[in-house]
Amino acid sequence: MSRKKTLSRKKFLQQIGLGIGAVGTGFFFPNVLAAGIGSTKRSGAPKKILVLGAGLAGLSAAWELRKAGHEVTVLEARNRAGGRVSTLRKPFAEGLYAEEGAAAFSGSYTHALKFIDEFGLEKTPWAMPEKPIIYHLNGEKMTVAAGETVKWPYEMTEEEQKLGPFGIVNKYLIETLPKEMTQPDKWDQPPLLQMDKVSLGEYLKNQGASEGAVKLVKNTMWFAAMPDETSGLSTAVSDFGLFMSGAPFFTLKGGNDLLPKEMASRLKDHIKYGSAVTAVKDTAEGVLVTTTEAGTAKEYKADEVIVTIPVKVLQKIRFEPELSQAKRKAIEEMPVLNLTRTYLEVDRPFWQDEGLSGLAYTDLLLGQVEPHINQNSPDSSPAILDSYVTGETAGNLGELQEKDVINEVKKQMKKIYPDVDEHFKKGHVKAWSTDPYALGGPSWPGPGDVSSYLTDLQRPEGKIHFAGEHTSVLRSTMEGALRSGVRAANEINQNS
């Protein structure tokens, strides 16, 4: 189909209400990512391999290595698998849950789909809101129904006012991004490489977007939360070329963590939880990994190692010999996205009394608001209002005590739902920047960071290999993490 095929305004408004961007881009971009990264067979004798980290990257690496006949042990600091794929069930009412990290899958996630289908996990389509959405922007609160024309509170051209958020994305991004965005292996070649030189904000303005239009996109699109600190290349390849080329989007019924849980259950004899890595030493005889387990140091030996630990945590691990200067620089300077989510459990989805969807986009401290409802009894059971905050504000929130964050978010939430206090039951906060095994959300390259650091982040050093979403051009995606693990496993298989 033509990349410039248009959808109805009603469809646009429904799609922008998803909170994950433009669902309709599946109509514009052919999904040419299906081939993904294939696995390879072992070319020599089996080896003893240590995989550091049981997130999706570590699990996929272990899976491939086990399939190739290697002896594999996964060392995981937490008491669970999944890393930043984490579904929150406690302390909420029975049957109620919300995602702490990775929010949704795309139909373009070939590696994820391979596991999801093999395990028989049930998909839940990401429902498009039919009811009105609340916007609180530039001091003005608006309730917008699908198909309704509104006056957006920013200085924009007459055309941009008529287009609205999704129409602006369509005009300045969808219709202008190079077709190579669906070919991630070409990230280091023109025209994609040039896109890494500019921020998303600069790119939009270069296409003719006004300052007000950029602000509107910033406050209504998750991928544009930090437009001046986001690589145009990352937006093109990861957000549009990968994620949005694979509509329809979906979650896993029961929680997205069911994928890593199922992978881990089938590797259970090969995963050691509560093993926090402190040092990695490459020797002539192999690799020696030191961990702390229940306060006691322990050593593991292997022929080779795959490190899938988040990039900020990686800075705290001692390597012998010291990693190359280029590798250290890449690890130290690759940005990550600060992310703080605050969950307010309420006695029921009271916003439905006013015929609202529960979804809100704001430039307030509480960021974007998403509702989570018990699907078994959606009208009367307890529900959640989830405040999703990124960037500097998220970092500042994360430094506060939980009760103070909940109180502040509740105070801000009253600007959206004035009677939230009457329904509030309990709150919970997840600040990824204070999680000792993450120290932030996913990698979030700024202008120039992909071309400066990605190759060095991927490159093995001696017998030490590296994976994780931060080593993939498909940054901040579950698919990027899975593919990175396969890539690292292939490096070992090809040299075995």
User: How far apart are the C-alpha atoms of 416 and 133, rounded to whole Å?
Assistant: 11
Q: Distance between CA 234 and CA 448 in Å, rounded?
A: 10
Please report the beta strands in 349-495, taking only residues with DSSP state E, as ranges in sequence order: 360-362, 368-373, 383-390, 424-431, 464-466
Maximum distance among all alpha carbons in the chain? 69
pLDDT of residue 15: 46
Residue 5 has pLDDT above 50, yes or no: no
In a domain, 180, yes or no: yes
CA 383 from chain centre, in angstroms, equals 23
* pLDDT of 398 strictly over 50: yes
Predicted local distance difference test score (pLDDT) of residue 328: 98
Q: Is the pLDDT of residue 146 over 90?
A: no
Count other Cβ atoms within 10 Å, centred on residue 179: 12
305-328 pLDDT tens trace: 999 999 999 999 999 999 999 999
Q: Is the pLDDT of residue 37 over 60?
A: no
Q: pLDDT by residue (tens digit) across 165-211?
A: 989 999 999 999 999 999 999 999 999 999 999 999 999 999 999 99
Phi, psi for 326 (deg, rounded to 5): -65, -40
pLDDT, position 244: 83
pLDDT, one tens digit per residue, over 457-489 is: 999 999 999 999 999 999 999 999 999 999 999
Residue 132 has pLDDT above 90, yes or no: yes
According to the per-residue pLDDT averaged within each range, which of 125-139, 235-249, 477-491 is highest? 477-491
- 228 within some domain: yes
Count the domains in the chain.
1
Q: Average pLDDT in the 358-383 region?
A: 91
| Residue 108 counted as domain residue | no
In a domain, 199, yes or no: yes
pLDDT in tens, 327-346: 999 999 999 999 999 999 99
Query: 62-97: per-residue pLDDT in tens?
Result: 999 999 999 999 999 999 999 999 999 999 999 999
- Strand 424-431 and strand 140-144: pairing? unpaired
C-alpha to C-alpha distances, 181 to 237, 241, 407, nearest whole angstrom = 5, 5, 42
pLDDT at 16: 42
pLDDT at 126: 83
pLDDT at 39: 61
Within a domain: 429 = no
pLDDT above 90 covers a percentage of the chain that reads 83
Q: Which residue segment(s) compose the domain that 160 sits in?
A: 9-30+127-247
β-pair type (424-431, 287-293): unpaired
* Nearest C-alpha neighbor of 80 from the set 369, 407, 435, 325: 435
CATH number of the domain to which 194 belongs: 1.10.405.10
- Round to whole Å and give the CA distance between 256 and 246: 17
Q: Comparing C-alpha atoms, which of 184, 451, 231, 240 is closest to residue 337?
A: 231
- Quick check: is 393 in a domain? no
Q: Which residues of 215-233 are buried (b: 16+ CB within 10 A; e: fewer)?
A: bbbbbbbbbbbbbebbbbb
Q: Give yes or no for residue 243 having a pLDDT over 60.
A: yes
Q: For residue 496, is pLDDT > 80?
A: no
- Lowest mean pLDDT across 14-28, 75-89, 437-451: 14-28
What pLDDT is stored for residue 359 in this prediction?
96
Q: What is the CA radius of gyration of the chain?
A: 22
Is residue 240 domain-resident? yes
- Contact criterion met (CB below 8 Å) for 214 and 201: yes
Q: For strand 133-137 and strand 140-144, is the pairing parallel, antiparallel, or unpaired?
A: antiparallel
Angstrom distance (rounded) from CA 29 to CA 149 = 27
